[in-house]
């Protein structure tokens, strides 16, 4: 069982299978296993993008989510020996993979409404609330803030 970070617990069923469980008190829209399963399925088969295969995903009536995944071979980056030429090569490979991910068609993900996005100007106002107004009021009340290098006019 792995309880590092995150809000889901992972269980190694055997050498090939991983079960992720997220209980209702830990469920958050941003860390939904349903969202993760959709995203992983969307990435399956994309060249240079290696992801576990989603074998199943379910939610119970009580709100617990389960995802069964294939296990990925390898070691966690934090445990990898990335010295010498291995480090720049790993960073290059990561860049290639991220370029592929960001270049993919996103319409199916956005249509799911599981991924945050501003669909209308009203969404932007709701998401930011009074943040911009509060920031403007602060700057107007503190002319000395304009002397900060990143705010200099």
Q: What are the extents of the domains in the chain?
A: 1-72+103-116, 118-153
The mean pLDDT value of the chain amounts to 84
CATH of domain 1-72+103-116: 3.30.200.20
Residue 38 to residues 13, 26, 67, 119: CA-CA distances in angstroms?
A: 22, 19, 11, 20
Token code pair at residue 145: 């803030």
Q: What is the pLDDT of residues 10-25, one digit of tens each?
A: 999 999 999 999 887 6
Q: How far is it, in rounded angstroms, from Cα 143 to Cα 109?
A: 44
Token code pair at residue 76: 């966690």
Token code pair at residue 92: 């290059």
pLDDT of residue 25: 67
Q: What is the pLDDT of residues 47-87, one digit of tens each?
A: 878 899 999 999 988 888 999 999 998 888 889 888 999 98
Give CA angle at 1 (16, 79), nearest 5°.
Answer: 80
């Amino acid at each position: 069982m792995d309880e590092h970070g995150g809000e889901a617990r992972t269980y190694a069923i055997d050498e090939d299978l991983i079960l992720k469980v997220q209980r209702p008190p830990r469920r958050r829209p941003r860390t939904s296993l349903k969202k993760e399963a959709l995203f992983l399925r969307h990435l399956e088969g994309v060249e240079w993008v290696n992801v576990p295969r989603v074998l199943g995903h379910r939610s119970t009536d009580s709100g617990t989510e389960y995802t069964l995944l294939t296990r990925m071979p390898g070691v966690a980056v934090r445990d990898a020996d990335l010295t010498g030429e291995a480090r720049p090569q790993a960073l290059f490979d990561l860049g290639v993979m991220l370029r592929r991910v960001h270049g993919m068609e996103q319409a199916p993900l956005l249509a799911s409404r599981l991924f945050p996005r501003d669909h209308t100007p009203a969404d932007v106002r709701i998401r930011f609330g009074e943040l911009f107004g509060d920031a403007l009021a602060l700057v107007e009340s503190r002319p000395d803030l304009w002397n900060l290098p990143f705010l200099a006019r």
